[in-house]
Amino acid sequence: MSVDATLSFEEAMEKYDPVLGFEVHVELNTKTKMFSSAPNVFGDEPNTNVNEVDLGMPGVLPVVNKTAVESSIKIGLALNCKIAESCRFARKNYFYPDTPKNFQTSQYDEPIAYDGYLDIELEDGTVFRVEIERAHMEEDAGKLTHMGGAAGRIQGADYSLVDYNRSGVPLVEIVTKPIEGAGSRAPELAKAYVAAVREIVKNLGVSDAKMERGNVRCDANVSLRPHGRERFGIRSETKNVNSLRAVEHAVRYEIQRHAAVLDSGEPVIQETRHWHEDTRSTTSGRPKSDADDYRYFPEPDLVPVVASREWVEELRATLPEPPAERRKRLKEAWGYSDLEFRDVVNAGVMDSIEETIAAGASADVARKWWMGEIVGRAKVADVDPSELGVTPQVIVELNKLVEDGKINNKMATQVLDGVLAGEGTPAEIVEKRGLAVVSDDGPLLEAIDAALAAQPDVAEKIRGGKVQAIGAIVGGVMKATRGQADAGRVRELILEKLGVEG
């Protein structure tokens, strides 16, 4: 495989202006497929979640999944799109064995959602508006695995295996208008855009939004033009870039590659490119021209999808708050610093903190527990913090026990471990483990007498005015009471006993 020449990113930016475009495919998490009653489930035995419709058997007909239409409208609304009152499906005709009918049922000139936008906030707070051209419904193809040969591609393979479980899974394809003016922030914007789309569909609950499973897949279009020129350059389309980091890297790489091609005086070839995570580079796929003829025509087996205005408004009313707005609102309400809030978001505990506050904890207490105790334990257990098994009620209860002076902070972490070990509620664990702070002075005085008797030299020093030596006696008492004593009270009682002013 020949290695393409690249310019440094800085040099590329000096000479050229990048124009981006994205096609993001979102797999919907409906119970059944787009056009059949077969289950829409990931990861099952190959070719088990299929019926005659998904296999394109002779005589079958498609029926549109209403929930998929609803999800598509929700996505359209979340992307600030207009929703078509009536729209049709079309057939995209091409022969390939991952498509059992040898055509894909998609939408062509009548997408369900169109003319939207998404405001993308970059890390430094800059907001960049990405215009959405359309979001349309279609069905996913089956999954091909090419056996033998090199590189897992169909060319040179000995044979190929097809899994039609994915065939017919509902997809929404979100297509941007050309994105101009991103300049050197193009790679960062690319990543932020895909992250925002993923977050939106996850927040809507319409997709599992797991990129590693292909629930969200990005095709990234890149072209360069000399600064000041209006006309777009020739683009490449890097297919199936399936992680946020890869999106950023692929855009950066393609900018560098295009710049080198243009510098050499050659035209950029309009083609699809394949992204390779290992080498962080792309290789040539198949040539793609605008003249690719898919012989689109309206799907005669389906009647138009009619989205009444009442229905659209009903769906709009069910939309959750947009993620970016929600973050802004919560950060202000909680009074966290920029850094604190970013850490909370990155740790994935924003929802949990919100729930904990709703359950009665203060914003600081909630953050202290989630960031200070739970995130670390979750990392060790290799699970999401929210899945560790700590409910907001546990935190509220723990905090109350501390505030009431029934246990101290050190004990509280032990109680948390008890909760995670399934020993019961915090109160039950305090009881069972006998962890209550000892508040009756009687047993304490006995322990103090014993500690003073054990370390007479230290007692003498304290009597002599060396009050800082008291730590050794306090430590002895705490040890004797297995940490259950209130150290402050112990100190007071020792001083009292020795007749020394504290």
- Per CB under 8 A, 270 contacts another protein: no
Q: How far apart are CA 495 and CA 471, in angstroms?
A: 12
Stretch of residues binding another protein (CB under 8 A), selected from 98-106, 131-139, 182-190, 407-415: 98-106
A 10 A CB-CB count for 395 gives 29
Runs of H (alpha helix) within 371-469: 375-381, 392-403, 409-420, 426-433, 441-454, 456-463
Degrees to nearest 5, angle at CA 194 with 190 and 195: 110
Within 58-87, the residues that bind another protein by CB under 8 A are 58-64
CB 252 within 8 Å of CB 187: yes
Stretch of residues binding another protein (CB under 8 A), selected from 80-88, 300-308, 360-368, 494-502: 300-308
**Min separation Cβ 154 and another protein, Å:** 7
**Min separation Cβ 379 and another protein, Å:** 47
Degrees to nearest 5, angle at CA 463 with 459 and 466: 90
**Min separation Cβ 55 and another protein, Å:** 6
- What does the H/E/C string look like for 326-371? HHHHHHHHHCCCHHHHHHHHHHCCHHHHHHHHHCCCCHHHHHHHHH
Which one among 27, 30, 69, 103 touches another protein, defined by CB under 8 A?
103
- Per CB under 8 A, 97 contacts another protein: yes
Measured from the CB atom, the residue of 62 and 323 that comes closer to another protein is: 62
- Per CB under 8 A, 95 contacts another protein: yes
Q: How far apart are CA 165 and CA 171, in angstroms?
A: 14
A 10 A CB-CB count for 458 gives 18
**Min separation Cβ 53 and another protein, Å:** 9
Length of the chain: 502
Per-residue contact string for residues 314-333; x = within reach of another protein by CB under 8 A = --------------------
**Min separation Cβ 91 and another protein, Å:** 5
Measured from the CB atom, the residue of 95 and 410 that comes closer to another protein is: 95
**Min separation Cβ 62 and another protein, Å:** 7
**Min separation Cβ 270 and another protein, Å:** 16
Distance of CA 294 to the CA centre of its chain: 35
- Per CB under 8 A, 101 contacts another protein: yes
**Min separation Cβ 215 and another protein, Å:** 26
User: Phi-psi region for residue 322, left (φ > 0), alpha (ψ -120 to 50) or beta?
Assistant: beta
Measured from the CB atom, the residue of 94 and 432 that comes closer to another protein is: 94
Q: How far apart are CA 169 and CA 53, in angstroms?
A: 12
Can you tell me whether residue 226 is helix, strand or coil? strand
CB 304 within 8 Å of CB 87: yes
Q: Which amino acid is located at 463 in the chain?
A: R
Measured from the CB atom, the residue of 304 and 389 that comes closer to another protein is: 304
**Min separation Cβ 93 and another protein, Å:** 5
- Per CB under 8 A, 380 contacts another protein: no
- Per CB under 8 A, 289 contacts another protein: no
Residue 282: φ, ψ to 5°: -115, 155
Q: How far apart are CA 42 and CA 216, in angstroms?
A: 13
**Min separation Cβ 272 and another protein, Å:** 18
Stretch of residues binding another protein (CB under 8 A), selected from 208-216, 289-297, 370-378, 414-422: 289-297
Measured from the CB atom, the residue of 164 and 275 that comes closer to another protein is: 164
DSSP state of 37: S
Measured from the CB atom, the residue of 157 and 345 that comes closer to another protein is: 157
Q: How far is CA 70 from CA 74, 304, 372, in A?
A: 6, 15, 41
- Per CB under 8 A, 359 contacts another protein: no
Q: Which amino acid is located at 186 in the chain?
A: A
Per-residue contact string for residues 152-191; x = within reach of another protein by CB under 8 A = --x-----x-x-----------------------------
**What's the token pair of residue 265?**
């005086």
A 10 A CB-CB count for 94 gives 13
**Min separation Cβ 291 and another protein, Å:** 7
Which one among 123, 301, 325, 332 touches another protein, defined by CB under 8 A?
301
> Which of 207, 186, 203, 84 lies closest to 135, judged by CA?
84
Binding site for another protein (CB under 8 A): 52, 55-64, 91, 93, 95-97, 100-103, 154, 160, 162, 291, 293, 295-297, 300-303
